[in-house]
Amino acid sequence: MSENLNDKLDTATQALLQRTTRGRQDFETLVIVPIFAVIAALFLGGLIMLATNVDLATIGESYLALARGSVGSLPAISETLTAAIPLVLAGLGLALGFRAGLFNIGAEGQLLLGGMAAVMAGFMLEGLPWIIHLPLALLAGALVGALYASIAGWLKASTGAHEVISTIMLNLISFRLLDYLLRQPFIQKEGRADPISKSVPDSAELPRLLDWLDPNLRLHAGVFLMLAAVAFVYWLLFRSKIGFAFRASGENPHAARYAGMRSGLIIIAAMATAGALAGLAGASQVLGVLDRATPGFSAGIGFDAIAVALMGRSHPLGVLLAGLLFGALEAGGRQMQVDAGVSIDLISIIQALIIVFIAAPLLVKAIFPWGFRQRKNAKGGSK
């Protein structure tokens, strides 16, 4: 009796220790590795500036300007959050696809067409009250993004076409399709010869949150949409049956099929959900910031979102933190250029360096070994 009790206690203790170790590993992966990656990227960015004949005083001023432009004032925080909203939304969709074993490169196209659909729903449904009009415009963006991404999912499920190739091709199609739509008389703004859409009416715009303090503060209600999307994707991935199917298929598709999961349906559902989030990102950008659609209005957000999803380790909370970081780099980069005269291209270099370090966590741990707990192997040694 006592031996059975001791065995049960040992088993429970080991389970608790494993859970603690796993929690520590998740914390290191999602928080500590990215922090050290940013530090290393900023250090290398400084060395690059030194190599291009930028003096130490200017380097210091540029990094101070980066901080001021991202979190140094209320306008800076507003710009950081505004830039982060579409990055996080699109990054969540990509992260969900990664979890399902799908490398979706098509967020840019899904974002463009989703934003275009939201604009069209905005000016074509004019006259509705905002409580109906705004949700319909957002829903239009999400649905079109989902349908467009589903094409790649269907191709993979039915023919085995690789989603990387099909989503890249769909991106190219979306660029030209957007140019075509913007020149149609029922979409193009009256009196304009250039490709630009009609403006979104006030009833379909995401309301600005801080304009009562300063009309120039662009932070809008999309920030609540972003936080709701993070909570939804977390629930979907870790608390729902379909989320379990996504993760199981991503970890081992053969085992998932053996367990009776319908792989084709999982692929299409994962791609559609990812596309809906990307379309929602486009809708938030046009309804909250731009007020209309123009060629390339996404400004590469769909491609930047790939880096956000990778940096966030395909975890919803990690994607949120990564999106905020990239939003801060974008907002602070403009201030760097104004205050210190440093090229905005340096921000792209720093972002690329961050991704390099994130992609090589063992390198980060080798550079900063004191920042990580040394785990012991079965023989008592450390590893």
Q: Could you tell me what percentage of the chain is helix, strand and coil, using 3-state DSSP and rounding each to the nearest 5?
A: 75, 0, 25
**Residues of the chain above pLDDT 70, percent:** 86
pLDDT for the residue 214: 85
For residue 226, the model assigns a pLDDT of: 95
Q: What is the mean pLDDT of the chain?
A: 83
Q: What is the pLDDT of residue 212?
A: 86
Check whether 285 has a pLDDT greater than 50. Answer: yes
Token couple for 314: 């395909």
Extract the tokens encoding 125.
């449904």
> How many other β-carbons are positioned within 10 Å of the β-carbon of residue 144?
25
Gap between the Cα atoms of 277 and 156, Å rounded: 20
The whole-angstrom separation of Cα 154 and Cα 179 is: 26
pLDDT digits (tens, 9 = 90+) for 68-109: 888 888 989 999 999 999 999 999 999 998 988 888 899 999
- What phi and psi values does residue 260 have, to the nearest 5 degrees? 100, 5
Longest CA pairwise span in the chain (Å): 89
Residue 216 confidence (pLDDT) = 87
Rounded-to-integer distance, Cα 146 and Cα 153, Å:
10
Q: Say what the pTM is.
A: 0.85
Do the Cβ atoms of 171 and 106 come closer than 8 Å?
yes
Say how far apart CA 118 and CA 149 lie, in whole Å. 16
Q: In which band, very low, low, confident or very high, does the pLDDT at 190 lie, cut at 50, 70 and 90?
A: confident
Q: At residue 294, what are phi and psi to the nearest 5 degrees?
A: -135, 165
- Could you give phi then psi for residue 191, rounded to 5 degrees? 80, 5
Residue 96 burial (CB < 10 Å; 0-12/13-18/19+)? Answer: buried
Q: What is the pLDDT of residues 294-338, one digit of tens each?
A: 988 888 899 889 989 988 888 899 899 889 988 988 888 888 777
Q: Cα dist. 41→108, 109, 318, 360 in Å? A: 26, 29, 18, 13
Mean pLDDT computed over 5-23: 48
With a CB cutoff of 8 Å and minimum separation 6, the contacts of 155 are: 161, 163, 166
Q: Are 377 and 383 in contact (CB under 8 A)?
A: yes
d(CA 29, CA 66): 25
| Residues 144/167, Cβ–Cβ less than 8 Å | no
Residue 299, Cβ density class (10 Å: 0-12 exposed, 13-18 middle, ≥19 buried) = middle
Residues in the chain: 383
Cα–Cα dist 53/66, whole Å: 19
Residue with tokens 């500036």: 49
Residue 116 has a pLDDT of 95
Beta bridge partners of 220: 208
C-alpha separations of 175 from 148, 179, 362 in Å? 13, 6, 38
The domain limits of the chain are: 89-323
- Alpha-helix residue ranges (DSSP H) falling in the chain: 2-27, 33-51, 56-71, 74-99, 107-124, 130-159, 163-181, 222-239, 241-251, 253-258, 263-285, 301-311, 316-340, 345-359, 361-367
Q: How far apart are CA 182 and CA 119, in angstroms?
A: 11
Kindly tell me if the per-residue pLDDT of 374 is higher than 80: no
